[in-house]
Structure formats: C-alpha cells, structure tokens
Copies of this chain bind each other. A is one copy, B any other.
Amino acid sequence: MDDVYIIGTGMTKIAEHWEISLRDLLVEASLKAVDDASISLKDIEGIFVGNMSSGYLQGQEHLGSLLATWLGIPGTAACKVEAACASGGVAFHQAVLSILSGLYDCVLVAGVEKMTDAITSDITTALIMADDQEYVAGIGATFVGLNALVYRTYMEKYGVKEEDIALFPVHCHKYAQYNPYARFRNPISVEDVLRSPFIADPIRLLDSSPICDGSAAIILCSENFLKKNGGRDNLVKVLASSVATDTFSLNDREDITTLSATKIAFKKALKIAHIEMNQIDLMEIHDAFSILGVIHLEDLGFAEKGKGTMLIKEGQLEYDGKIPTNISGGLKGRGHPIGATGIYQIVEVARQLMGKFDGKQVPDPSIGLAQNVGGVGGTVSINILKRVR
C-alpha cells in the first residue's frame, strides 16, 4: 500500500456537552486537527464524517456537506460513512482509500456523536439499529442485553469469573484518570464494579461504556502533498487499514464468544502492513462492555481463548507492559461517542507514536493498532499506524 500520512489530529473532551451542538463539536475537533497539521482549510479536498445516529437523534443527515459549510469550505467533496459503532474506523478507512486512489492529496476525517440530548429510551432504540430490527430488535432485545448473552456464555464456556472480567474496566479507569479528554477520570476497584447495579445481568453499570458526546478529527495526506508542502517532524504513517464483517446477528454464529470479523480484518491488516503481530507496541481496542475488551485480546491473538484476563493480571496491558492497551482509558474510561470512537482511538494511537500523548505516554512505541467494532461484531475495522520521523 502507498504512503498515507497522519499530519494533524484534534479532539473535543468527551462529556455531556449540554451547551455544545453536534455541529459545534464537529467543527471544534476539525479545526484543532487543521491547526495541528499546520495546513490551511483550503488544502482540504475531501471530508469524511463518521457518525451513526445523527438522523434519529438530531434529525440531521447530510453531515458531510454540513461540515464543509461550517468549516467555511463549501465546494469540498464530502460524505458521511456509517457502520454502527465502527463508523469512525470505517470512515478513516474510506479516507485512506481516497488518498490511495490518487484523486485526493489531503483529506479530513472526523467522527462525531451527540447522545446526551436524547432521552434514554431513544438512545436504546438508536443503538439497537446496529443489529437486526426485524429479527433481533423486534423480539425486544437491547444492545446491552445481547452483550449480556455474550458475557454469560463466555463465563460458562471458560469458567472465568466476574471478578476477573471486572479487571478490564478497572484497568481502563486507571489510565483514563491521566487523559484530559476522558469522560471518567476516577480510578475504580473490582469491588466498585461488582457493587454497581446490573444493566443486563451479568453486565453491570461499571462494565458499560457511557452515553456521551464527542468529536475527533484527523488530517490525512499523500506523499505528494508532503513534498509540495514541506517536510514535517513527528510523522505517522498508515501502515494498514482494513475492514471486515461477520454475520449481522449473534444467532447466526457458531461461537458468540469470538468475533470472526476481528480475526479477518487483523489478518488482512498484518498482510498489508508486512508485519508480525509481535511488532505491535500498543493498541486501543473496543471495550464497549468489559467482556468485549477481554474477547478482543483473545481474537487479536494476544491470549488463548478464555485466558484474556490473564494479560491484565500479569500487567501486560500496562503502559510499560508487553502490549500496552487502552492507555486512553478505552471506551469505558475515555468514553464511547459512537461514530467518533474509532477516530478517537486512531488519534490516541497516533499521538502515542508521536510521543505527545496527553496522558500516560507509552515509552517509545513504533507501531500501534486501533480496533473499532460495529454492532455485536457485525463490522470490525483495524488500522495500524507507524512512527516514521
């Protein structure tokens, strides 16, 4: 794959932004990325917006054109990309394809979701649109309920206990406290998790990523653009970008404790990147619920099935461990503004590689991975970045 570079990143703080609209979040993150890239707005030739539910929750579609206008650059090509909770990672993939195509030299990809304006039942309705409305939502299943099935099956199949799985959110909160953009900056204990109320048994409140608002943005460019616009320090290259799907709903899967889309996308990404998995120095993975964080560690091959929690116990996920993971705080600690999450992850990995992460900096990483999941694993995007300065 040809060279595609990340030259600028921007994020809003993740919070309940009652005072800031969806468009203002988008514009704030985008302008920060433009500033960070030291480019002019008119350098942007294409805009990709990752978002899932603006139509249902804000009554607003057509976010690509909206963002172009609100950035003051109408004319610019633009669109929205949607793949449920993987919208951000998949929008990034489309942005990478646009540079690789040779038709674009500099593009903006921004993820956004504003969830807190809506009443809870509307959010529950919006989230289950990631799964099958006719065959799954229609029988009353909620998104957290489906993940509870995964959690329960995993515990029974592998004999893993809740107190082990609770280590994942504890790990995430531990690092979220250092991340100024994170939703929850308070450390929590295993006892806190196990004392928190059930959302859908066995998933508890502190197993669940929060409903929140946020936007993150990235400027991508070609080798050609870099040559024309002068070199830059502290560059990060996109080593690979891949997307895979799995059966749309859990009921079609042989084993609901594994996400085959993760395996397919990761295998494809390693092939494109020409690297081995042990060359990966850090990663951000999609822990929408604690159990998913554990399952991803296994599906990515860092632990045998049923042994994911061992990595936490052994300290392997720590910032100075063997495979630093979710040092941002992950979806549980940093937050999970649906369509923005995939972009936050990539920004965080990029900043770690640049050595300028606002939080616990991983010591001198070279290659990082971001894994973003849509639905109950119906879509997975894998992006691998490398420091190249």
Which A residues are within 8 Å of any B CB, using their own CB?
Answer: 1-2, 21, 23, 46, 52-53, 55-56, 58-66, 68-70, 74-84, 90, 93-94, 96-98, 100-103, 125-126, 128-134, 137, 241-249, 252, 260-261, 264, 272, 374-375, 378-379
Asked if residues B133 and A60 are in contact (CB atoms below 8 Å), the reply is yes
Contact of A77 among B56, B78, B245, B378 (CB under 8 A): B245
Q: Of B77, B128, B247, which contacts A74 at CB under 8 A?
A: B247
What is the predominant secondary structure among interface residues of chain A facing chain B?
mixed
Specify which chain B residues have a CB less than 8 angstroms from the CB of A130 in the assembled complex: 61-62
Q: Residue on B with the closest CB to A90?
A: B79
Inter-chain contact A79/B21, CB cutoff 8 Å:
no
B59–A379 touching, CB < 8 Å: no
Instruction: Please indicate the chain B residues that have their CB under 8 angstroms from the CB of A94 in the complex.
Output: 79, 81, 94, 97
Whether the pair B133, A78 counts as a contact (CB closer than 8 A) is no
Interface pair A83/B69, CB less than 8 Å apart: no
The reply to whether A129 and B55 contact each other, CB–CB distance below 8 Å, is: yes
Asked whether, in the complex, the Cβ of B65 is within 8 Å of the Cβ of A379, the reply is yes
Residues of B within 8 A of A264 (CB): 75
In the bound complex, CA of A259 to CA of B81 (Å):
24
Contacts of A134 in B (CB 8 A): 21, 23, 60
What's the minimum C-beta distance from A366 to chain B, rounded to whole angstroms? Answer: 23
Q: How far is the CA of A144 from the CA of B132 in the complex (A)?
A: 32
The residue that A83 contacts in the complex, of B78, B128, B249, with Cβ under 8 A, is B78
| B100 and A102 form a contact (CB under 8 A) | yes
A153 to B326, CA, bound (A): 56
**How many copies of the chain does the oligomer comprise?**
2
- A61, B82: Cβ atoms under 8 Å? yes
| A51–chain B nearest beta-carbon distance, Å | 9
Interface CB pairs A-B, < 8 A, 10:
A1-B101, A55-B55, A59-B129, A59-B137, A62-B129, A62-B374, A63-B82, A64-B82, A74-B247, A82-B82
A97-B101, A378-B65 in contact; A244/B77 too (CB < 8 A)? yes
In the complex, the answer to whether B1 meets A78 with C-beta atoms within 8 Å is no
A83 to B23, CA, bound (A): 16
Q: Which residue of B lies closest to A21 (CB)?
A: B134
Distance to closest chain B CB from A223 (angstroms):
14
User: Known: A78-B83, A379-B79. Is A129-B61 also a contact (CB below 8 A)?
Assistant: yes
Q: How far is the CA of A375 from the CA of B60 in the complex (A)?
A: 12
Q: How far is the CA of A261 from the CA of B243 in the complex (A)?
A: 31
| CB closest residue in chain B, given A243 | B77
- Distance (whole angstroms) from the CB of A272 to the closest CB of chain B: 7
| Chain B: CB-nearest residue to A128 | B59
Which chain B residues border A93 with CB–CB below 8 Å?
77, 79
**A59 — which chain B residues lie within 8 A by C-beta?**
125, 128-129, 133, 137
B248 touches A66 (CB 8 A): yes
Identity of the chain B residue whose Cβ is nearest the Cβ of A268 in the assembled complex:
B77
User: Contacts A129-B59, A252-B69 hold; do A78 and B261 have CB atoms under 8 A apart?
Assistant: no
Q: Which of A52, A97, A128 has the most CB of B within 10 A?
A: A97
Query: Are B80 and A81 in touch, CB under 8 angstroms?
Result: yes
In the complex, what residues of B have CB within 8 A of residue A82's CB?
61-64, 79-82
Whether A79 and B246, one on each chain, are in contact in the complex, defined by CB atoms closer than 8 angstroms, is no
Residues A62 and B80 in contact in the complex (CB < 8 Å), given A74-B245, A75-B244, A97-B103: no
> Complex Cα distance A68/B103, Å?
27
CB-CB nearest 7 A-B residue pairs: A100-B101, A65-B378, A77-B243, A69-B248, A61-B129, A62-B84, A97-B101
